[in-house]
Structure 1
Amino acid sequence: MDWYVIDAVEVAYERTKRCLFEPFDLWKWVKLAIILMLVGGGSGHGGNSFNSFSNSMDSDYGSGYGSGYGSDYNPLDSIGDTFDSIFSAAVMAIIALVLFLIIIFMYVSSVMEFVLVESLVSNSVKFWEYTRHFLGKGFQLFIIRIAALLLSLLVLAVLLLPFVLLFGMPSGDYFWLSFIGGMMLVIFLVIIFAVIASVFGSFISMSIPIALYNNVGVLSAIMEVLRKFKLDWQQIVVYWVGRAVLGIIVGIAALIVMMLAILVTLLPFLIVDGILYLLLSLVLSGSEWIVLVPFILVEVILFIIVMALVSMPFGAFLKYHMLSFVEKWYLEAGIPFDQGIDLKA
């Protein structure tokens, strides 16, 4: 029996080489690096117990000592309350902004999943054209991811429930034994949850080319993958194991290459910065950082670009591997490799 996860390695390697090096196109590398980066892809009881306790004590003392005691007014209290209100509003605004940016990024990431697949299959990176074309399917994937996120938060809350119960228990002879047991149970459940999340993520990844090239909805594509899984689950189980091993190997290779890139990039930057700092210190004597900081910001941007370009081939290879596996495992997917990356010139 042929295991598709193994057969797909050589095919993915050839397709990656053909896409990125035959011929080499720096602008294609930049666009694919941007796509892969984008793929990446409240509380509120309204106060605190100390303030509530203080207010209640003030009220009791006021009634006990007469009306004159309770009528004392300190203007600093109102200033402090106003400051607390402004601070709370600012924190809530920042939290809302962060949540909004996370939601926007999740939607962009969902669209870029389709853009990446189409770019690799067709061997033609048309960033804006593909983005406009896949806004609808990206929104479907976004909704599914939001639902999965909410379900994950619910499961996380259930996992944290033992800690809440343990912390609410009075300390005793068996407290630490119960605490350690609860910790082990939560760690075990978190591992199980991570495995289930990875499995569901793999089903979503495999459904993207099916939704794309069978012209069906993302949810329908996921159901098709699950139906195929029931018929041929052995290939998928071996795929999960093989992808884990392949991910470790690719991760080590990527780490080595990125470390070399860091040395090649940072050493010249440090030498240039050192020389520039010495020259500026002779001329400006104390204000050299005003000139040096913009240079450092430019270097940071260049460093990020270099890291994205260096890591991009590894991400493209893993995506090609997944697509090559789906091509063999789910023949009905109809991935048109022969019209793009496999097209003979």
Structure 2
Amino acid sequence: MSWYVVDVIDRAVERTRSFLFEPFDITKWLKLAIIVFFIGGSGGFNGGGNGGSYDTSAGEPDVSWIPDSLTDFLSNLSHHISSFSDTTMLMTLVLILLLIFLIAIILGYIGSTMEFVLVESLVSNEVRIREYFKKFMGKGLSLYVLRLVIVFAVILMIVIVTAPFIFLIAEGDSGASGALGIIGFIFAIIAAVILFIIVLGIIGSFINMAIPVSMYQDSGLLSAIGRVFSQFKADWKQMVIYWIGRGILGFAVAIMAGIIGLIILVILVLLLGAIDLALYYILNMVLSGTVLWSLLIAVVIVELLLLSFTSAIIRMPFAVFMKYHMLSFLELWYQLKMPIFDELHSTSGNGPDQWIEEAEIIDE
């Protein structure tokens, strides 16, 4: 029996190569990196903490290696913060939290809409972010609301699963009942996490497949999910093998992307670190402590954004391949007709209809 998840790997590789390298267009790559950046989130760079040497006789850490200008800057910053009243601090904290919440909502909506932008770009072989974003704003909103509902449902389910054990721990004593509650709580959390990962993976798979279905069959997102689920009931074996195959393929792709990304990002971090060090010594001769460290912090923030965008560029070809793999699978499994750019395959007799015929021959 022919499994579509395996059959379409070569087609996904060919489409990825054609899309990214025939011809190579740096503008297209940068636009795609922007799309992947918003879809995947702005992954930050987490640096390790600096381990200072300790003076065991005094019991105090040795901070003599820290520049005096930095300690003065931090001291002044702490003094300004402590000068605020409790009411002012509370209002400031609330405003910061509201701002973070607002930014999260905006970025979540942009990321959901970019899912449609990415599919349209891959199908048409033209990356037009603004045009496609305007075209799919409504569908992006539907996807974002659906994802929010799923998140709240997951949180509610976690609370329901863990609540009995929390009450048992709270009301139990330090004896057997308390220990039993703690052990049960730990196992319940582990089981819930594993179960939710599997369930969310399955739900996410249906949603991702519903995105191109809703785009190219002119239907709402929920209706498209229903259509994909109906096809699942009619041909569930291919879908189950698809989940297993995608898991293996995704793991392999993640390892490749991780190795390449780690090498590039380490080199970039070392380069930026050397630039920062040189910049510190140069500016330290002409600027005061507060101005100096304010400027350096701004430079570091820009560098973190640069590292995040570089990470998106590294991830982009792998994301393109995985998306083409899904679209190629849909052509076979769901028999979805898309105006995909490589019309040569369909005109030469190697299109989705030909794949299905070949698969039926193999099955026989």
TM-score, scaled to structure 1 = 0.79
Aligned to 1:150: 152
2:194 maps to 1:201: no
Among residues 185, 188, 196, which one is paired with 2:188 in the alignment?
185
Among residues 297, 308, 311, which one is paired with 1:304 in the alignment?
308
Spell out the pairing of 1:42-57 with structure 2 (5 A cutoff).
none
Residues 12-61 of structure 1, C-alpha deviation per residue, up to 9 Å, x if partnerless? 111111111111111101111111111126xxxxxxxxxxxxxxxxxxxx
Report which stretch shifted further, 285-294 or 178-187.
285-294
User: Structure 1 pair 241/278, CA: closer, same or farther in 2 (3 Å)?
Assistant: same
Contact kept in structure 2, 1:36 and 1:312, CA below 8 Å:
yes
Contact kept in structure 2, 1:112 and 1:131, CA below 8 Å:
yes
Spell out the pairing of 1:1-345 with structure 2 (5 A cutoff).
1-40=1-40, 87-174=89-176, 175-281=178-284, 283-284=285-286, 295-331=299-335, 333-338=336-341
Residues paired across the two proteins, number: 302
Q: What letter matches 2:173 in structure 1? A: S
User: Structure 1 pair 88/245, CA: closer, same or farther in 2 (3 Å)?
Assistant: same
User: Structure 1 pair 190/270, CA: closer, same or farther in 2 (3 Å)?
Assistant: closer
Report which stretch shifted further, 202-211 or 20-29.
20-29
How far, CA to CA, are the matches of 2:173 and 2:234 in structure 1? 53
Deviation at 1:296, TM superposition (A): 4.3
How far, CA to CA, are the matches of 2:273 and 2:188 in structure 1? 48
Report which stretch shifted further, 12-21 or 154-163.
154-163
Contact kept in structure 2, 1:31 and 1:127, CA below 8 Å:
yes
Superposed CA RMSD in Å reads 2.6
**Helix, strand or coil for the counterpart of 2:150?**
helix
Deviation at 1:152, TM superposition (A): 1.6
How far, CA to CA, are the matches of 2:332 and 2:32 in structure 1? 25
**Helix, strand or coil for the counterpart of 1:284?**
coil
Unpaired runs of 5+ residues, structure 1, are 42-82
Aligned to 1:53: none
**Helix, strand or coil for the counterpart of 2:8?**
helix
Deviation at 1:91, TM superposition (A): 4.0
Deviation at 1:173, TM superposition (A): 2.5
TM-score, scaled to structure 2 = 0.75
Report which stretch shifted further, 233-242 or 144-153.
144-153
Contact kept in structure 1, 2:16 and 2:317, CA below 8 Å:
yes
How far, CA to CA, are the matches of 1:145 and 1:279 in structure 2? 49
Unpaired runs of 5+ residues, structure 2, are 42-84, 348-364
**Helix, strand or coil for the counterpart of 1:337?**
coil
Contact kept in structure 2, 1:11 and 1:321, CA below 8 Å:
yes
Deviation at 1:292, TM superposition (A): 5.0
**Helix, strand or coil for the counterpart of 1:24?**
coil
How far, CA to CA, are the matches of 1:173 and 1:296 in structure 2? 52
User: Structure 1 pair 278/216, CA: closer, same or farther in 2 (3 Å)?
Assistant: same
Report which stretch shifted further, 187-196 or 283-292.
283-292
Determine what percentage of the aligned residue pairs are the same residue.
40
Report which stretch shifted further, 15-24 or 88-97.
88-97
Aligned to 1:63: none
How far, CA to CA, are the matches of 1:210 and 1:306 in structure 2? 31
How far, CA to CA, are the matches of 1:285 and 1:32 in structure 2? 40
How far, CA to CA, are the matches of 1:291 and 1:241 in structure 2? 50
Larger helix fraction of residues: 1
